[in-house]
Amino acid sequence: MEDKGEVKCIKFSFGNKILAVQRTPKAVDFINFIPDLPQTEYSQECKTKNANILSFCWISTNEIVFITDQGVEFYQVLPDKRTLKLLKNQSINVNWCMYSPETAVLLLSTTVHGNVLQPFYFRSGTMSKMPKFEIELPASPKSGNLCLSDIIMATIYGQLYVLYLKHQPRTPNNPGAEVILYYLPRDGQCKKLHILKLNTTGKFALNVVDNLVVVHHQSSQTSMIFDIKLRAEFDGAVTIHHQVLPSLSIHPCKIPRAGYLWCLQIKLQPIVHMLQDKGRLMDFLLQRKDCKMVILSVCCQMLSTAERGSLPVIATIFDKLNQVYKEYLEAEQNYALAMESGTSRSSSTQKRPVRTQAVIDQSDMYTHVLSVFTEKKGLPHKFVSAVLMEYIRSLNQYQITVQHYLYELVIKTLVQHSLFYMLHQFLQYHVLSDSKPLACLLLSLESTYPPAHQLSLDMLKRLSTANDEIVEVLLSKHQVLGALRFVRSVGSHDNISARKFLDAARQTGDTMLFYTTFKFFEQRNQRLRGSSHFTPGEHCEEHVSHFKTLFGEQALLTPMAV
């Protein structure tokens, strides 16, 4: 760049295509960094006579806004023509300004005291004037004007706020400085919603980190953390918040020299030991970006040190986790339905829900918490079972389908500690939901707990879609007549395989059982086809021969009722 004087401000456009440089109060110079276009500088003076440029902001790759002390000038940059086109000009007295690139909102301070703020919103080449609002200045005569250092704009939990640091002397009736949050909707009037009580005076700086408002206090060299999503006192108009944790210093860091920009991060793990209220701790963690493993570690720690009396707290934690889990599942379901119906094509607002780390699903809980918890030594068996059932209760409360591996964990835990009466009750009163995998698991427990066989059959009958499985179970137990009665009771006896039943009857070695089974299918053949003979497709020739060998050819004609 040519040396044309002191550079007051320098900014690249989005994508680093065009460089804007301000050297004088009257104009901004531009340099193209686009292939095949000359890098010769071109310039744009502000249109308003006698105005001075306070600042400028890139709105997009080729849109820029000049903020002067007399108004706003919105331009389109035409790099190939090396010129700018004025899109809109708004006259207004300006003290200072700030811009939020996230939301494309420009905030101007107007009036003598600077406490009337005028926002503008930019979108697709247009500039829209939003409703102006007034910041309440302190009653103290020393308050002076509202300056830029008292205000920041920030997006907190997806909404745009103007944060105002209100300095006040500390008196018996006044705890000192506070931060006031004004909610700035795109449509509608700005609203004063939150007050953060600092309970001290002095010099402060504000940051928003991971949706937390962090207030740095210079003299004490500490920082205060506020979370506007946590439960707080509501006075009928605004919500009053106090700091989440005691004031803490930023983690020390050695640097070789001054002149650094800082990026703050919140360390979540130490907070686990600072917030004693587990419910409040979970509310706090669920809103944080990198929370998953910390939440799971809190659950593990809570269960390993808990006692029977802590079940209500554990239940509360499970409910908080599953509420977030359910909200995500519903969002996924709604998105899938929208995609199927094709409504998403006509609506740009329908976006696939983002699965945040706060979504702790059943697999996460099973792998990292519950399976580990059941292996712990020295915990009362009934308490372990109660915790598992509490998690299942919570899933049911939010109408989340319980995965079979959780039921499997419950059953194995009960059997391992010989709590059969409890298992029987859970099944009898349908605390454990019926499913084919669960019925199969019960069957496998028959050698340890003989009633499990009948419990499994009862469950399969209730499912009504597991008739084939019931037949297989009965035949595997050589209960051939029981299987025949069952298929007749459900009306499927005309469609079953005769060979399968004859195979099972013959394997028992009970000749009368084989005789009875054979006669059952002879009668079925007579009723369906007018002949007692088996068709070649049934592949029962071997069993017909065996029947003749045992009872003679004449027995083939003798009917018998089952």
Please give the average per-residue pLDDT across 90-118, as a whole number: 94
Q: What is the residue-wise DSSP string for 9-29?
A: EEEEPGGG-EEEEE-SSSEEE
User: 473 or 505: whose pLDDT is higher?
Assistant: 505
CA 414/CA 317 separation, integer angstroms: 24
Q: Assign 3-class secondary structure to 149-194.
A: HHEEEEEECCEEEEEEEECCCCECCECCCEEEEEECCCCCCCEEEE
The conformation of residue 368, written as its DSSP 8-state character, comes to I
Please give the average per-residue pLDDT across 333-352, as a whole number: 74
Residue given tokens 């019926």 in the structure block: 434
> What integer pLDDT is reported at residue 390 of this predicted model?
94
* DSSP reduced 3-state for 134: strand
CB 360 within 8 A of CB 325: yes
Angle between helices 404-416 and 420-428 (to 10 degrees): 150
Q: What's the pLDDT tens digit per position in 303-337?
A: 988 766 689 999 999 999 999 999 999 999 999 88
Token representation of residue 359: 């979504």
Please give the average per-residue pLDDT across 355-382, as a whole number: 93
> What integer pLDDT is reported at residue 308 of this predicted model?
61
Q: Is the pLDDT of residue 181 over 80?
A: yes
The conformation of residue 141, written as its DSSP 8-state character, comes to G
CA 343/CA 339 separation, integer angstroms: 7
> What integer pLDDT is reported at residue 562 of this predicted model?
46
User: 67 or 422: whose pLDDT is higher?
Assistant: 67
Please give the average per-residue pLDDT across 376-387, as a whole number: 88
Position 343, amino acid: T
Q: Is the pLDDT of residue 221 over 60?
A: yes
For 66, 164, 246, the CA distances from 150, given in Å and listed in that order, are: 23, 6, 24
> What integer pLDDT is reported at residue 482 of this predicted model?
78
Q: Is the pLDDT of residue 270 over 60?
A: yes
Q: Is the pLDDT of residue 208 over 50?
A: yes
* DSSP reduced 3-state for 337: helix
> What integer pLDDT is reported at residue 183 of this predicted model?
97
* DSSP reduced 3-state for 218: coil
State the sign of the Cα–Cα–Cα–Cα dihedral 438, 443, 445, 446: positive
Which range among 150-164, 289-303, 336-350, 435-449 shows the weakest confidence by mean pLDDT?
A: 336-350
| Long-range Cβ contacts of 229-236 (<8 Å, 24+ apart) | 229/157, 229/283, 229/287, 230/280, 230/283, 230/284, 231/280, 231/283
* DSSP reduced 3-state for 330: helix
> What integer pLDDT is reported at residue 536 of this predicted model?
87
The conformation of residue 440, written as its DSSP 8-state character, comes to H
Quote the distance between the C-alpha of residue 416 and its chain's center: 35
Token representation of residue 166: 């209100």
CA gyration radius, the chain: 38
> What integer pLDDT is reported at residue 37 of this predicted model?
86
Token representation of residue 376: 């712990």
> What integer pLDDT is reported at residue 560 of this predicted model?
53
Position 104, amino acid: A
Q: What's the pLDDT tens digit per position in 453-466?
A: 778 777 777 777 66
Q: What's the pLDDT tens digit per position in 466-489?
A: 677 777 877 887 888 878 887 887
Q: Is the pLDDT of residue 237 over 80?
A: yes
User: 249 or 253: whose pLDDT is higher?
Assistant: 249
Band (108; pLDDT cuts 50, 70, 90): very high
Which range among 166-170, 209-213, 557-561 shows the weakest confidence by mean pLDDT?
A: 557-561
Which range among 51-60, 133-142, 353-362, 530-539 shows the weakest confidence by mean pLDDT?
A: 133-142
CA 238/CA 524 separation, integer angstroms: 80
Quote the distance between the C-alpha of residue 142 and its chain's center: 47
Q: Is the pLDDT of residue 370 over 90?
A: yes
Q: Nearest Cα to 21, choosing from 13, 32, 11? A: 11
CB 200 within 8 A of CB 243: no
Q: Is the pLDDT of residue 362 over 80?
A: yes
The pLDDT > 90 percentage for the chain reads 59
> What integer pLDDT is reported at residue 459 of this predicted model?
79
Q: Nearest Cα to 442, choosing from 426, 429, 76? A: 426
State the sign of the Cα–Cα–Cα–Cα dihedral 3, 9, 15, 18: negative
Q: In which region does residue 321 sit, left (phi positive, over 0), alpha (psi from -120 to 50) or beta (all else)? A: alpha
Band (28; pLDDT cuts 50, 70, 90): very high
> What integer pLDDT is reported at residue 483 of this predicted model?
81
Quote the distance between the C-alpha of residue 421 and its chain's center: 38
Please give the average per-residue pLDDT across 549-561, as a whole number: 71
Which range among 90-94, 137-141, 485-489, 502-506 shows the weakest confidence by mean pLDDT?
A: 137-141
With 0-12 / 13-18 / 19 or more C-beta atoms within 10 angstroms meaning exposed / middle / buried, residue 506 is buried
- CA atoms in the 13 A half-sphere facing the CB of 374: 22
CA 137/CA 115 separation, integer angstroms: 7
Mean pLDDT of the chain, nearest integer: 89
Please give the average per-residue pLDDT across 230-245, as a whole number: 95
Q: What's the pLDDT tens digit per position in 126-165?
A: 999 999 999 988 766 455 678 888 899 999 999 999 999 9
Q: Which stretch, 18-22, 167-171, 531-535, has highest mean pLDDT?
A: 18-22
